[in-house]
């Protein structure tokens, strides 16, 4: 695809000789990584929510003690406060294992595939979709920032 005056920048143009199927495969790999990125955000949400709940238990324990319910306060304090969420692990440890294992490998394989096949270019599938869908010459349909439509 030859670059036109209002076409994508070099980083978003398909290198010569790269097939449609290769661009589609890289696009699907990128889409899968985006799903994993979203899942990673949910891990952090769980981490923060569980941590907040654990800290709120301090208040609950104090209120139960104030109300004369020491047995309930003791059970919460001894059995639940600071408890592992998964055997042997708090949520920060789950995140670290996820980040250092599955997530790191996923990102590395995505990067290596792009490096080997298209010189490291990202989002070629989306860039080509943008070119097919935009209306040349219309405001808000420019190929890139600062480009005249």
pLDDT of residue 14 exceeding 50: yes
**2 domain-assigned:** no
**59 domain-assigned:** yes
**52 domain-assigned:** yes
Domain that holds residue 76: 19-133
**114 domain-assigned:** yes
Going along the chain, which residue ranges are E strands? Answer: none
**48 domain-assigned:** yes
Q: Is the pTM of this model over 0.75?
A: yes
Using the CB atoms, write b or e for 98-112: b if 16+ within 10 Å. Answer: eeeeebeebeeebee
Mean pLDDT of 119-139: 94
What is the number of domains present in the chain? Answer: 1
Contacts of 104 (CB under 8 A, 6+ apart): none
**51 domain-assigned:** yes
**82 domain-assigned:** yes
pLDDT number for residue 1? 44
**66 domain-assigned:** yes
């Amino acid at each position: 695809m030859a670059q036109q005056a209002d076409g994508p920048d070099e980083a978003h143009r398909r290198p010569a000789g790269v097939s449609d199927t290769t661009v589609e495969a890289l696009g699907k790999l990128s889409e899968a990584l985006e799903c994993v990125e979203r899942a990673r955000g949910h891990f952090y949400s769980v981490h923060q929510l569980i941590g907040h709940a654990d800290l709120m238990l301090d208040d609950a324990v104090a209120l139960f003690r104030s109300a004369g319910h020491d047995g309930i306060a003791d059970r919460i304090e001894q059995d639940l406060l600071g408890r592992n969420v998964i055997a042997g692990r708090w949520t920060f440890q789950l995140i670290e294992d996820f980040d250092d294992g599955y997530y790191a490998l996923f990102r590395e394989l995505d990067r290596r595939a792009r490096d080997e096949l298209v010189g490291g270019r990202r989002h070629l599938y989306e860039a080509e979709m943008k070119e097919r869908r935009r209306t040349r010459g219309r405001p808000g349909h420019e190929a890139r920032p600062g480009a005249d439509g």
